[in-house]
Structure 1
Amino acid sequence: MKMAYVCNGSSTRAQLAASIAGEYFKDAEIVAVGSIEGEEADETAMKILEEDGISTEGLKLTNLFEMDFDMNYAIVVGCDEGGCPLVFADKVIEWDFIENPKGQDEAAYRKAKDQLKEEIKKFYMENFA
């Protein structure tokens, strides 16, 4: 199975979500997608995930311009300026209510992480458990 977690603006939410999803979807190919070319891993996001024991090893990052649209699932985890990005997959899901923690304090990152953990767990339990 191939999954993309997509974020308009900073890819921070996508990085959080892809790492969390890796805890549930062990055999899936998962990628974090942002709309900014050349964006690297968000150090604060990596720290917050590691505090929670969530592995960031093997996190794959890309951008909307290089995204493979041959995906089973594309889950949009944030829509900043310009609205939600247009993506294609067998199934597209939008969770546009998660605020972008980029540039905020660690509490904002933890809030986004906790929201994503809840949504990903619910998604997994409803569709794969």
Structure 2
Amino acid sequence: MDNITGLAELQAAFANLKADLSRQLPDIVVEAAGTVKDEIQSRMHVDSGQLEQSLEVVSTHRENSATATVQIDDSGPEQDQHYAIYQEYGTSRMPARPFFRPGVQAAKEDVAAQLINGVLNVVAQHDS
């Protein structure tokens, strides 16, 4: 038990894997968020198309993490944000036409699979 061989190579392989995961994770996460966006968009009630155009994916990433958010663009007219809420929940004069929550719910399984497969693909690139 005094001689453990291959430890340096194993540590180097894990360091390379970590670097590759850190580099590829933002793309994996943004792609999965795109799936959520597509599901939400497919459920939108479209009048002028302005609300549809204001749906966006915003991402941030750091060395060991990545986040993507699907949201209604808050830099556009304030009406877009309010209109999205009115569509989702309805008003006293307009019935609810939920699109955001059902879209997120519909995408859950696909997104989980995309994230898992994306990470597994990076790991498989190092399988040797």
TM range (shorter): under 0.3
Greater C-alpha Rg: 2
The answer to which structure has the higher strand fraction is: 1
- In terms of fraction of residues, the more helix-rich structure is 2
